[in-house]
Structure formats: C-alpha cells, structure tokens
C-alpha cells in the first residue's frame, strides 16, 4: 500500500535543487513546484512595471498591484517540462535572465510578496503528492511536510555549474558575474528578516559538492520509499 506525501527541498542558489526535485517528482508521479520561479515571475512583473529603481522598490505601488499578478504553471507536453506563466504569458525564459536574477532576492525579501506566494504554494500542496523546492519550504510553507531536505554545495562548484548552464543556453555572462550573483543571493537569502533560508530542525542535510545527480536521486528516493510505502497508521 502506498500513501501520498509532500517533499520539501530547500537550499542555497544553484545547488541543483530543481534537477533533483524534478527527477523525484517524475519517479513518484508527483507534481513539481518551483517556488523560485514564482519569485522570479514576481520580479519580472516589478521590472516590467518599473517598480525597481537603483536597488530599491516602490513598495506602495507594488502592494497596490499585487492583486493583479497571476502566476501559474502549465506542462508543455512537447518539451516535457513545466513552464511558468505571468498573467497568461509564458515567461519561462525571461525569468531566468541575469537581470531577473540580479533583483529577485530584493523582491523575495518583501513581506507582502512572501505572504501572497506562500499562501499560493500552500494551496498547491493541499492534496499532497507535491515535491516543492525553495528556501523556506520546510520551515514556513510546508512545516508538516513528511520529508524535508536541505541542500548545500561548495560555492565555487555551484558557480561553475550555473555558469556552464547559462553558457549552454547562450546567455552572455562571465564566471565572475555568476559567482558574485550567487554570493550576493546567498547573503541576502540567509540574512533577510522574513523567512530567511535556514535548515528546518527535521530536514535531512544533503551536501552534493562531490555527488553525481544519480547519487543524490538514490539518496532521496531511499528516504521517500520508506515513507511512501509505509503502512498507513
């Protein structure tokens, strides 16, 4: 007999959370939810509306417009991936730009933004069977998730992985720019006042500096199988 659970995967930027979460969701036939994409879509919206100027946000205007922001996910059957939509427009590529990466931690530190997105994420996970990755999933969004992981990796290794990923996509950037962006986001995400990145007490640590994707997948699935196939009490 199997039961549906929720799996929370938190960790630093560019740790490979989404690669792992997607593979686990596919294996279990669960829904994968990329909460970082939601903060990125919100950032794109703020940029489009010119609400970010010189590292500061027009908070009042952002608050007024929040109810007009609709972020959804749709599965693309041709590309076999879930894509992010902002007010009905596909923004999957735009939200991965360096411009959005530069400002996303600023927007993610806004309590009004977090309130809205956390509520939305909690609704998405109500029926269980969800693998969600982010920064505050195990601590704030799904504190009752049956299985939680906290991923870390050496910052240099993360920067290299991210740089190669961007290069493959043809994004114009340098290794130093990517490394600095990751360092800056680590700092902002860990030290912000609202829902900072931290390991939940009951999260399993997963340092993947020297692990292959397959090794991480097996590690997570070993834990998941025990819970999914445990006899329901």
Contact positions vs ligand DC (CB under 6 A): 13, 35-36, 39-40, 104-105, 108, 134-137, 185, 189
Residue in 220, 222, 218 with CA at minimum distance from that of residue 11: 220
Which ranges in 10-110 belong to alpha helices (H)?
Answer: 17-28, 35-48, 59-65, 98-108
3-state secondary structure of 7: strand
Q: Which two tokens stand for residue 38?
A: 């939601």
CB-wise, 125 or 134, nearer to ligand DC?
A: 134
Q: How far is the CB of 105 from ligand DC (least distance, A)?
A: 4
Give the shortest CB-82-to-ligand DC separation in angstroms: 13
Min dist CB 19 to ligand DC, Å, is 11
Nearer Cβ to ligand DC (181/220): 181
Closer of 166 and 228 to ligand DC (Cβ): 166
User: Which residues have C-beta within 8 Å of that of residue 4, sequence separation ≥ 6?
Assistant: 30, 127, 128, 129, 228
Closest approach, Cβ 26 to ligand DC, in A, equals 19
Q: Quick one: 46 or 137, whose CB is closer to ligand DC?
A: 137
Q: How far apart are CA 163 and CA 65, in angstroms?
A: 34
Task: Specify the residue, 30 or 39, whose C-beta has the smaller distance to ligand DC.
Answer: 39
The contacts of residue 181 (CB under 8 Å, 6+ apart) are 98, 101, 102
- Is the torsion defined by CA of 28, 29, 30, 31 positive or negative? positive
Q: What's the min distance (Å) between Cβ of 81 and ligand DC?
A: 15
Report CA-CA distances (Å) from 170 to 17, 28, 81, 158, 192: 22, 33, 20, 18, 32
Q: How far is the CB of 174 from ligand DC (least distance, A)?
A: 19
Pairing of strands 89-90, 81-86: antiparallel
Residue 148 or 185 with smaller CB distance to ligand DC: 185
């Amino acid at each position: 007999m199997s039961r549906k659970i929720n799996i929370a995967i938190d960790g630093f930027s560019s740790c490979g959370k989404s690669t792992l979460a997607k593979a686990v969701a596919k294996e279990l036939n669960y829904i994968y939810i990329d909460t970082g994409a939601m903060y990125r879509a919100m950032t794109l919206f703020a940029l489009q509306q010119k609400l970010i100027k010189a590292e500061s946000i027009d908070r009042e205007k952002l608050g007024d417009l929040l109810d007009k922001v609709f972020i959804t996910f749709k599965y693309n059957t041709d590309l076999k991936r879930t894509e992010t939509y902002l007010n009905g427009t596909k923004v999957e590529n735009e939200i991965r730009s360096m411009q959005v990466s530069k400002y996303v931690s600023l927007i993610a530190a806004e309590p009004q933004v977090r309130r809205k997105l956390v509520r939305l994420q909690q609704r998405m996970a109500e029926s269980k069977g969800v693998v969600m990755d982010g920064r505050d999933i195990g601590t704030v969004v799904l504190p009752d998730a049956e299985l939680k992981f906290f991923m870390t990796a050496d910052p240099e290794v993360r920067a290299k992985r991210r740089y190669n990923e961007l290069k493959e996509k043809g994004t114009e950037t340098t290794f130093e720019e990517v490394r600095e962006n990751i360092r800056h986001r680590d700092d902002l995400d860990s030290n912000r006042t609202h829902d900072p990145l931290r390991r939940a007490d009951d999260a399993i640590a997963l340092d993947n500096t020297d692990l292959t994707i397959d090794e991480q997948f097996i590690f997570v699935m070993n834990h998941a199988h025990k819970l999914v196939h445990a006899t329901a009490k």
